[in-house]
Chain A
Amino acid sequence: MIKHFLARQHLDQLFSVLSNAGYQVVGPTVKDNAIVFTELSHVEQLPWGRQEIAKPGHYQLTDTSTNRCFAWNTGPQGLKPWLFKPEQPLWQAEQTEQGLCFRQASIEAHPIAVIGLRGCDLAALKLQDQHFLQGPYPDPYYQAQREQLFIIAVNCAQSAETCFCVSTGDGPEATHSFDLVLDELEEGYLMGCGSEQGQAIFQQLTLGPQVSKDQLHTAQKQLADASQQQRQMPDEDSLLKLTENLEHPQWQDVADRCLACGNCTLVCPTCFCSKQESTSDIKLQQAEQVRLWDSCFSEQHGYIAGKLFRPEIRHRYRQWLLHKLANWQQQYGRSGCVGCGRCISWCPVGIDLVAEAQILVKGTPHEPTDR
């Protein structure tokens, strides 16, 4: 890919060109001491000179010695809430003189340009696309926003302690699904194009001077540094074998620590579970059906009248991990984990998915118990 140089002082041009092209810019900013994706109007809102310290059960922002705006890796949420909304009205019902009427909820989508997504975020996007768009019932709400999405990805120049995208094959380089991609250097950005829409934006920017060999080398070195990661998820074949070891004692061990709070599923960029809620007005004339994010850690997740299919935390943790790492492969052709590390840092008790998976793949097989 041919890279062009965008000087730091011209980053704001990117914002104005995107906005003139009709996009709402969405990107990272600091909010409540975390990196949060939000609608941005100017480059000063980016998290300049901020970096996260992420460890099991720990997430904290600190100042960096450099003046970069992409020196962090992840915040609690990536792209997921922008496409698969935490709360999505599905349809309305109304009691009219003609009887009960239903209508689809209005589809509210507008062009957004999201800046700062990483390799893991793009891998997660691909998986969410598969789930929401490529099944027998494409989701109209997801689809409408997905079609109006412009992506400016960033190659990671460093890794957080919790990152393990190298072992899942999803980072630290952004290799697909973007319109533009950036490497952040001290003096500015190396910019590459990934689509025609990207090209159209790119052409309106003040670029140059020509990218030097040194700059390319620095970008390569940054990626190599970011690839030095402490955690490694076991390979997919070993993960698939976890389905043969349903009574491994580690399931109980982790259940004794897990609070079943569901944080891990909420921050995970690939988790897609939802529940539906019905409401009506007090006169019982209008009713609405709303879809909300849900978690497999809730007891209700596997409930049908009179029966809880996963009554114990042990069953629910096992559902989360087995689905994510093994059954996902059978459903979507790859593991559902993209190595972002979010579930590790946002777990209140610091349960480390990678450490658990490593113990589980080593285990001795136990016979499954009949109910």
Chain B
Amino acid sequence: MNQPIASFVPLTTTLMDKHQESPGIFTLYLKLNTSAPFNFSFGQFNMLYLFGLGEVAISIMGWRNNLLLHTIRAVGRVTQPLVQLEPGQQLGLRGPFGYGWPLEQTKGKDIVFITAGLGCAPVVAAINHTVEHKQHYGRIVILQGVKHHNDLLWQTQYDHWQNTGNCQVLLAASEEYKHRYKWRLGMVTELLNFAEFDTENCAVLMCGPEIMMLAALKQLAKLHVADEAVYLSLERNFQCGQASCGHCQLGPFFVCKDGPVFHYPTVKPWFGLSGI
């Protein structure tokens, strides 16, 4: 776990740039008001604070040119006004919190990323990392599902991963699809049948709606991928990020501290149950 740059009291950050990814989805480029290094693992999250309105947990999308990237969907009480900030305006940040993706332990293996919806944000940085360090990993497979093909964020990223990154990129749209490129009609989990990877020496990194991850787990079991190969990122109500407020509990786990990325065998007894 990386020591947070700010744990109890937020650190001032300045919005340097803002990029609209799709209707209602924005990437914020943040400059931290400190000279201290921001150490994080891909998959960790920060608490972003909007003056007077409160905090919201957002996973780290990346780090580029000394700026921290967060991709935010404007759906909540805090996120809606948050994405309306203009460059130059400031906000608070606590974090990073929790455990990220196991990018060290998975070296030497084929890596399969499975995501759906905006679920992609927490793994984008991890994908970039594996692509940039391709020599350490085997094949890289990226499976992404959306409702409509134009819901896909970072279209050019996928092109880049496929063409220059030499990854196998498979996309599924559940409600309509285009007869071109790599789109298929259906659920992201069905893409697993077309994915080319070594089922005995792979790591599967998943995030997105739990119902999608459950379906993917079933499909993976059919392909004889061991539970031990699977990691997933969970979302819960994070208010403190410090395993104190109690809101993010899942059975014995505090998702903010023990996750948000879990090794599937650890969380398996509690994952996907209704009302837990």
Contact = CB atoms under 8 A, between A and B. Distances in A.
Nearest to A318: B275
Main secondary structure of the interface of A (DSSP, over half): mixed
Interface in A80-138: 90-91, 93, 95, 99-104, 131-132, 135-137
Nearest to A327: B252
B246 A135 contact: no
Which range holds the interface residue count of chain B? 35 or more
A259 B5 CA distance: 42
Q: Which of B12, B54, B276 is packed against the most chain A CB atoms within 10 Å?
A: B276
Given A280-B52, A371-B211, A99 B245 contact: no
Interface string B1-45: 100000111111010000000000000000001000000000000
A137 B243 contact: yes
B49 A370 contact: no
B245 A274 contact: yes
Given A136-B257, A278-B55, A369 B244 contact: no
A314 B274 CA distance: 11
Contacts of A99: 12, 14, 33, 90
Contacts of B54: 276-278, 289
B273 A369 contact: yes
A315 interface: yes
Interface stretch (A12-20, A56-64, A211-219, A300-308): A300-308
A132 B8 contact: no
A312 interface: yes
Nearest to B55: A276
B226 to A, nearest CB: 21
B91 interface: yes
A222 to B, nearest CB: 37
Contacts of A312: 275
A139 interface: yes
A117 to B, nearest CB: 23
B210 to A, nearest CB: 7
A147 B75 CA distance: 43
Interface in A241-268: 243, 246
Contacts, number: 142
Contacts of A210: none
Contacts of B128: none
A204 interface: no
Contacts of A327: 249, 251-252
B174 interface: no
B167 to A, nearest CB: 30
Interface in A276-296: 276-280, 284, 287, 289, 291, 294, 296
Interface string B179-218: 0000000000000000000000000000000110010000
A184 to B, nearest CB: 36
Contacts of B214: 370-371
Given A91-B8, A370-B214, A284 B52 contact: yes
A153 B276 CA distance: 38
A306 B75 contact: yes
B243 A103 contact: no
A370 B274 CA distance: 6
B275 A311 contact: yes
30 contacts: A93-B10, A99-B90, A100-B91, A102-B10, A104-B9, A131-B244, A135-B243, A139-B244, A246-B273, A274-B239, A274-B240, A274-B246, A276-B54, A276-B240, A277-B54, A278-B53, A280-B52, A291-B245, A302-B237, A305-B73, A306-B75, A311-B275, A315-B274, A315-B275, A327-B249, A330-B251, A331-B252, A371-B211, A371-B273, A371-B274
Interface of A: 90-91, 93, 95, 99-104, 131-132, 135-137, 139-140, 243, 246, 272-280, 284, 287, 289, 291, 294, 296, 301-306, 309-312, 314-315, 318-319, 322-323, 327, 330-331, 368-371
Interface of B: 1, 7-12, 14, 33, 49, 51-55, 73, 75-76, 79, 90-92, 210-211, 214, 235-237, 239-240, 242-247, 249, 251-252, 254, 257, 269, 272-276
Given A131-B244, A305-B73, 15 more contacts: A135-B244, A140-B8, A273-B246, A276-B239, A278-B49, A289-B49, A305-B79, A310-B276, A311-B275, A314-B275, A319-B276, A322-B251, A327-B251, A331-B254, A371-B210
